Amino acid sequence: MQCELCKTRTATVHLTEIVDGQRTESHLCQNCAQKEGITIKNQLSLNELLSSLIAAHQESDEQSGTESQISCPVCGITMEMFRKQALLGCPKDYEVIEKAHDGNLTHKGKTPGGVPLTAPEIATDEQAEVKNENKSDSTGSLQAEELKKLLEKAVCDEDYELAAKLRDQLKALEQ
Partner 1 sequence: MRLNELSSRLSQWFSPEAPLSDIVISSRVRLARNVAGHKFISRCNEAEKRKILEMLKETILSLNESAQGWLTPLGDIFFIDIEHGSGLERDLLIERQLISRNLAAGKGPRGVVIAKNELFAAQINEEDHLRLAVFAAGLNLDKCWGRINDIDDAIGKKVKYAFSPRLGFLTACPTNLGTGIRVSVMLHLPGLKMTDQLKKLFEAAKDMNLAVRGLFGEGTEAVGDFFQVSNQVTLGISEEKTVEDFMTLIIPKIVEYERLARDRLLVKDTNILDDRISRAMAVLKNAKIISSHEAMFLLSNLRMGINMGRVKEISINTINELFLLTQPAHLQINKGQNLDAEQRDILRAETLRAKLN
By CB under 8 A, name the binding residues for partner 1.
Answer: 74-77, 85-91, 94, 100-102, 105-115, 117-118, 167
Least spacing, CB of residue 107 vs partner 1, in Å? 3
CA distance 12 to 130: 70
Nearer to partner 1, 21 or 114 (CB): 114
Task: Indicate the SS3 state at residue 87.
Answer: coil
Q: What share of the chain is helix, strand, coil (3-state, %, to 5)?
A: 55, 10, 35
Q: Answer yes or no: are the C-beta atoms of 88 and 94 closer than 8 Å.
A: yes
Least spacing, CB of residue 27 vs partner 1, in Å? 34
Nearer to partner 1, 5 or 170 (CB): 170
The distance in angstroms from the start CA to the end CA of the chain is 65
Cα 137 to the center of its chain, rounded Å: 32
Nearer to partner 1, 21 or 112 (CB): 112
Least spacing, CB of residue 76 vs partner 1, in Å? 8
Nearer to partner 1, 21 or 109 (CB): 109
